[in-house]
A and B are shown apart, each in its own frame.
Chain A
Amino acid sequence: MISDDLYREIILEHYAHPRCKGKLEAPTFRQDGVNPTCGDAVTVELDVKDNRVVRAAFEGVGCSISLASASMLTSLIEGKTLDEVRELAATFKKRMLNRNDAEPCPEQLGELEALDGVRQYPVRVKCALLAWNTLLGALEEAL
């Protein structure tokens, strides 16, 4: 495994060994997302209790960037309140759409910082955001 600005080790690690991959038995929320330009598809499932994500899972087909991002997403949001999840998603989306290298990555994003390199590949930003847009779709139902 060699690693570079885009294919960072953490990304390849999540891609090779995705966390939270699979289905939940009776998810509170379930949302399908597709990237129409490439055909990649992801399903995000959430168990929510008292406004807090107890468990998250994803399934899907896609490139290393979209699946690693989905894996990071599901592992990061477990235990967070829905408001915290929305805030994290908003911060991550804003970061992905910001190509200014001078600004440091917000600390709140934790290991999502590994996806920073994707910003230099505009067509791949959609890959990194697929799971997150799907998550936000699921949370719209929660409003």
Chain B
Amino acid sequence: MSVKVELSRRSDFPLLENQPELVYLDSAATSLKPRSVLEAERSYYEECCANIHRGLYRMSEEATRRYEEARHSVARLIGASDPDCCIWTSGTTDAINLVAYTWGEQNILPGDPIVLTGLEHHSNLVPWQNLATRQQARLRWIEPRPDGTLELDNLDELLEGARLVAFTWVSNVFGSISPVQEICRRARAAGATVLLDAAQGVPHLPCAVEEMGCDFMAFSGHKMLGPTGTGMLWSRRELLEAMPPFRFGGDMIREVWRDRCTFNELPFKFEAGTPNIAGVLGMGAAADYLLDVGMANVRAHELDLLTYARECLGSLEGFELLGPPLDQHSGALSFVYRGIHPHDLATLLDRENICIRAGHHCCQPLMRRIGMSGTARASLSLYNIRADIDRLAVALEKASQVFKGVLF
């Protein structure tokens, strides 16, 4: 993608227009939203603010049409051939909890091993920890190396008897890309079901969910240019049909008597109550936006930025990148700089209008494993440009002046 295209894309993001001095490098926490996403939400409330799947009037039909069209858009983005297998959730956490409370309760038995990696965000760890406690199951760990890549030499051993393998596509701390197909292939050969946490993958990498080999995939709307409070669970039809509902109430039923009910078909069986309709339309618009740019172009642009950032920041005295080799790198750059505590760095960079994340990144067990209390993290998206990296480099050097004579 040429610089010209990058700049035209930047003008799609009202926040960048409103704050031209801002350097936003925290997209792994949440991404900025393009105008089309905001417009999709606004137009729902202003043009067809009716409930879905109920009304017998045209405005309700229009709302239902937009809602289901959004599902098709996100299905296209992830390469899912059957939109009925794409369940709206409030985010990745909600999607993972859905699986833990339905499939997990049915299939995880006392003593069963659940295999996780040491890279997991709390959202793909705590639900399984809690399930393991409820079902007296055991957790096993694929260990990360210090650069965020995974140690797979003992994977077959870990997979022995495993019922479930849950792991992240891309680490939110290191930006390291997991070898998804290899882990899925070996896990399924060992008889395990696989859940992929794609929260940091879908916004950055081309996705063909049916070819990746996982059984479940969870991701969020707000990290892929969509609104907060949106997300999706994808799974295979036979798994979803065998699972009990997660939440009970309106819209997820077919017929209700005083003492019993029958459940609706997919995907509605898992979508009880009036959903976040405006949010869903926004997430659909975000998927359309990404499809329009093309995920291969998004990846190419980010690789260009990562290459530049690794060069430019890497040449600063005392800068140490915590991350994988470039070809396995996506999205997030974690680093330490001249011994300055990440919080001090974040405050000093904020003064220069640069937003980075500092701390444990919701990965406390990982931080303990690498022997750190936290890192500084700059994370990228398609609206970032090389000039953002230049500004970061200058601001880091300026920040270091505060601690000259104190730390070095």
A interacts with B: yes
B-binding residues in A (CB < 8 A): 1-4, 6-7, 12, 15-16, 37-41, 61-65, 121, 124, 127
Q: Would you call B404 an interface residue if the criterion is a C-beta within 8 Å of the partner chain's C-beta atoms? A: yes
Given contacts A38-B374, A65-B343, 20 further A-B contacts (CB under 8 A): A1-B402, A2-B402, A3-B402, A6-B347, A12-B402, A12-B403, A12-B406, A16-B407, A38-B343, A38-B360, A39-B360, A40-B373, A62-B341, A62-B343, A63-B341, A63-B342, A63-B344, A64-B341, A64-B344, A124-B347
Question: Which residues of chain B in 383-407 are interfacial with respect to chain A, using CB atoms and an 8 Å cutoff?
Answer: 401-407
A-binding residues in B (CB < 8 A): 341-344, 347, 358-360, 364, 367, 373-374, 401-407
Does the CB pair B405–A1 fall under 8 Å?
A: yes
Assembly CA distance A62 to B342 (angstroms)? 9
- Measured CB to CB, the closest approach of chain B to A19, in angstroms, equals 15
Assembly CA distance A21 to B213 (angstroms)? 53
Does the CB pair A15–B343 fall under 8 Å?
A: no
**A61-B373, A62-B373 known; A37+B359 contact, CB < 8 A:** yes
Does the CB pair A121–B360 fall under 8 Å?
A: no
- Measured CB to CB, the closest approach of chain B to A40, in angstroms, equals 6
Closest 9 CB pairs of A and B: A63-B341, A63-B343, A1-B405, A39-B360, A38-B359, A16-B406, A39-B373, A61-B373, A12-B406
Q: Which residue of B lies closest to A9 (CB)?
A: B406
- Measured CB to CB, the closest approach of chain B to A128, in angstroms, equals 11
CB-CB under 8 A from B374, the residues of chain A are 38-40
Assembly CA distance A40 to B358 (angstroms)? 11
CB-CB under 8 A from B360, the residues of chain A are 38-39
Does the CB pair A127–B343 fall under 8 Å?
A: yes
CB-CB under 8 A from B342, the residues of chain A are 63
Assembly CA distance A64 to B339 (angstroms)? 11
**A6-B347, A62-B341 known; A41+B373 contact, CB < 8 A:** yes
CB-CB under 8 A from A4, the residues of chain B are 402
- Measured CB to CB, the closest approach of chain A to B352, in angstroms, equals 13
- Measured CB to CB, the closest approach of chain A to B107, in angstroms, equals 32
